[in-house]
Amino acid sequence: MSEVTAIAHPNFALIKYWGKEDTISNKPAMSSISLTVDSLISTTNISINKGSAENIWMLNEKEQNDLARINPVLKYLNNISKNNNGCIIKSENNFPTSAGLASSASGIASLVIAYDQLFKLDMQFDQLVEASMIGSGSAPRSLLSGFVILNVEDQVTSQTILEPEEWPLSIIICITDEKEKIISSREGMEISRNTSPLYQSWLDSNKKDIQIAKSAIIEKNFRRLGEVAERNCYLMHEVMRTSSPKISYMTESTNKCIKEINTIRDDGTDLFFTIDAGPQVKIICKPDDKDLIKTNFSNKPYVTKIVEANIGLGARVIYEG
Ligand code: DP6
């Protein structure tokens, strides 16, 4: 086999990771729960750079000069495969890169799955988790389908809590700005860990939020899940805001979206939102309500694009040649 292509979807955290325990293994300091998002796709093709130890990474058809994110992952994988050659990696995203839509999670998860298949490693799931985590702390969640927990107490483990068909919710993404973020999550979370006076209480609240969200998912309790997800999201953005320098991913457009969501909710429709390291607003709702919500946002000047999604599958190989 000379090349393999794999795909993975980004995932949106409902209980978030913001802060690392260890910057080498990239282990998150807290557990997280996410949804895998089907219509956003990262596609990664991998082949061997025969006769050269150099890794080459093309992202959206542009050769990348900075391989700091993927080289440590490849080093970990090469150790297992005993490969001494470099790899040629061609990745593409069908959505804006580095704009708070979790492109690194899906990019890394698709890379790890493609590599595993190219070298016929048949890696244990825990090893796939470890390899993905080196590239991005949220990437192990994109290996799996549905509602996913990444538990970092003691050993890092990841599991699907519910499969997409067990609780088929809809996701509506309000894109407000497609520009790449100025402060990466990686830099931002180190700043917060070192400077935010709220960081410790953020850490302390994680166990409880995980427990509430996990049981709300198992019980399919939409309101309870929405309440804890919004609270957790607000607290993460407070941690960012109280960091020094202040980190702010939410914009005026983001706030206008939140206001509109609250109005829709007050009018009797169940929905909730989450926001990550970017200004986009991700709305979670029941499938029957998605058209009404989309209509509400379709004529808003502060929303440049609306993307619809369902809860998706985990990373998988789509081509071997
Ligand atoms: C706000 O996983 O992108 O989206 O581990 O440095 O790659 P690195 O960070 P990353 O951070 C995700 C931050 C977040 C919350 C989340 O997805 O849990």
134-188 pLDDT, tens digit each: 999 999 999 999 999 999 998 999 999 999 999 999 999 999 998 887 899 999 9
How many separate helices (H) and strands (E) can be counted in the chain? Answer: 9, 16
Kindly state the tokens that stand for 137.
């702390």
Q: Is the beta carbon of 276 within 6 A of some atom in ligand 1?
A: yes
Ligand 1 atom 11 nearest Cα: 185
Q: Is the beta carbon of 185 within 6 A of some atom in ligand 1?
A: yes
Kindly state the tokens that stand for 309.
């999604």
Q: Are 46 and 77 in contact (CB under 8 A)?
A: no
This prediction has a pTM of 0.97
Ligand 1 centre distance from Cα of residue 296 (Å): 29
Ligand 1 centre distance from Cα of residue 136 (Å): 7
Q: Is the beta carbon of 181 within 6 A of some atom in ligand 1?
A: no
Q: Is the beta carbon of 137 within 6 A of some atom in ligand 1?
A: yes
Mean pLDDT of 294-298: 97
Q: Is the beta carbon of 98 within 6 A of some atom in ligand 1?
A: no
- Ligand 1 atom nearest the C-alpha of 135 is 7
Q: Is the beta carbon of 91 within 6 A of some atom in ligand 1?
A: no
Residue 155, phi then psi, degrees to nearest 5: -80, 145
Of the candidates 99, 186, 104, 185, the one whose C-alpha atom is nearest the C-alpha of residue 142 is 104
**Per-residue confidence (pLDDT) for residue 182, from 0 to 100:** 85
Position 60 confidence tier, pLDDT thresholds 50, 70, 90 = very high
Q: Is the beta carbon of 103 within 6 A of some atom in ligand 1?
A: no
**Per-residue confidence (pLDDT) for residue 270, from 0 to 100:** 98
